[in-house]
């Protein structure tokens, strides 16, 4: 029976559960995915766990925040001058968004004080982790049309 290795096409069924930085879990509906192992980008934890697996194998894989949106970084909570931002858009607990010089300025307004805003510049999803429950459905040699230059046989 073929095993998962570089340049093999792998089909998996998976159930994904994300755990937000507040500990709230969200279950996604089951899904199926096919990809060429070692060629198509996967989360490193998932790729490592799949190596040498064969059809019928079941695995549970934890994906840390570092592989998703990054860990929550307390140093990205800053005090900004209130006068630099549009007052009508400043609401505690809400995202502030504004285009400046063709770039999006975005942050969570944690607190509004007399002359400063306490702004959280982390991605709103920072600190989120995930758990994949995976069933390997199929492992086969990749067709030539599926291979990319990184596969020596391609």
Mean pLDDT, consecutive 10-residue stretches, the chain (154 aa), reads: 94 97 94 94 96 98 97 96 94 94 93 96 95 98 77 50
Number of domains within the chain: 2
The reply to whether 17 and 55 lie within a common domain is yes
CA distance 12 to 55: 9
Segments forming the whole domain that contains residue 134: 8-69+126-146
**Block residue for tokens 């507040």:** 22
Kindly state whether residue 1 falls inside one of the protein's structural domains. Answer: no
Closest Cα to residue 64, out of 37, 38, 46, 39? 46
| Diameter over CA atoms, the chain | 68
Check residue 5 and report its DSSP letter: -
Closest Cα to residue 110, out of 99, 126, 124? 124
Check residue 94 and report its DSSP letter: S
The reply to whether 51 and 29 lie within a common domain is yes
Kindly state whether residue 3 falls inside one of the protein's structural domains. Answer: no
Do residues 77 and 110 lie in contact, with contact meaning Cβ atoms separated by under 8 Å?
Answer: yes
Do residues 49 and 62 lie in contact, with contact meaning Cβ atoms separated by under 8 Å?
Answer: no
Kindly state whether residue 80 falls inside one of the protein's structural domains. Answer: yes
Return the pLDDT at 1: 86
> pTM for this structure?
0.79
Kindly state whether residue 61 falls inside one of the protein's structural domains. Answer: yes
Kindly state whether residue 2 falls inside one of the protein's structural domains. Answer: no
**Block residue for tokens 């894989």:** 61
The reply to whether 18 and 63 lie within a common domain is yes
């Amino acid at each position: 029976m073929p095993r998962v290795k570089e340049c093999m096409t792998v089909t998996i069924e998976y159930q994904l559960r994300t755990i937000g930085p507040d500990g709230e879990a969200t279950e996604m509906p089951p899904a199926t995915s096919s990809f060429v192992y070692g060629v198509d980008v996967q989360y490193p934890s998932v790729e490592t766990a799949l190596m040498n697996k064969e059809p019928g194998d079941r695995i549970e894989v934890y994906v840390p925040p570092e592989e998703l949106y990054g860990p929550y970084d307390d140093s990205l909570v800053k005090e900004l001058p209130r006068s630099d931002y549009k007052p009508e858009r400043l609401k505690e607990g809400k995202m502030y968004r504004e285009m400046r010089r063709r770039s999006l300025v975005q942050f969570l307004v944690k607190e509004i004080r007399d002359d400063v805003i306490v702004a959280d510049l982390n991605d709103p999803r920072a600190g989120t982790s995930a758990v994949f429950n995976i069933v390997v459905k199929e492992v086969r040699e990749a067709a030539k049309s599926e291979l990319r230059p990184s596969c020596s046989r391609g």
